[in-house]
Amino acid sequence: MGEAIGQVLPMAVGVAISPLPIIAVILMLVTGRARVNGPAFVVGWLIGLGIIGILVIGFAGGAAATSSGKPATWVVLLELVLGSLLLLVAMRQFRSRPHDGVEAPMPTWMGAIDTFTPRKALGAGVLLSALNPKNLLLAVGAAATIAQTGIATSQQALAYLVFAIIATIGVATPVVMFFALGDKAPPLLDRMKGWMGQNNAVIMAILCLVIGVKLIGQALGGLTA
């Protein structure tokens, strides 16, 4: 199980460093429902990642993710496809980066965050963790990587739980700061929001590039094993 966790740690960090979801939860923390919406978003984030893990690990269990002690061909090909898609996302993000002196635009839906109910905050967490292209690719890649190790299903579930917890640190950090620092939190969170918003595209490009190359290298290693 330790090997499985070690292999997915970079992908967990890649999901954790998600600028737009972190900005979203920070915006929730300056509304009147901050004490409820912030934690609800984090719970939704975990649920979204959990759904992906259940689906992929469940499918892999029935489709034999390992063969003769080696990753099955379909797992290797999946990693190759996921790695290639991450490289495409990296290129797209890098091209969309704002030029010097130009403020990065925020998605229009963020303007409605101050009207979110706890249910909407929970749903936003699910959607941003499970349907965000970068997070979806990384979570599927992590679940497939865990499945190909051939460890028991219970150990796969535990390894994926570790992945999901680490992947949640990014969106959970502002919530912890909000409750732990009190009045000192807003200026710190505002600076975090500004920096991440301006550098979102570059951060995403670097993360997708590094992890995409890792998945492709892992797949090529499996093909030649």
- Residue extents of the structural domains in the chain: 2-224
- Encode pLDDT of 103-123 as tens digits: 667 778 888 898 999 999 999
pLDDT reported for residue 213: 92
Place of tokens 């489709």: 63
pLDDT band at 23 (very low <50, low <70, confident <90, very high): very high
pLDDT reported for residue 36: 96
Q: Report the pLDDT averaged over residues 20-47.
A: 94
Classify the C-alpha dihedral 83-122-38-33 as positive or negative.
positive
Tokens of 193: 């929001």
Tokens of 216: 């492709």
pLDDT reported for residue 101: 64
Q: What is the pTM of this model?
A: 0.85
Of residues 211, 28, 32, 17, the one with CA closest to residue 113: 28
**151 or 139, greater pLDDT:** 139
Place of tokens 């690719």: 137
- Encode pLDDT of 165-204 as tens digits: 999 999 999 999 999 998 898 899 999 888 888 888 888 8
Q: Above 80 in pLDDT, residue 128?
A: yes
Q: Report the pLDDT averaged over residues 52-58.
A: 89
Q: Report the pLDDT averaged over residues 8-22.
A: 92
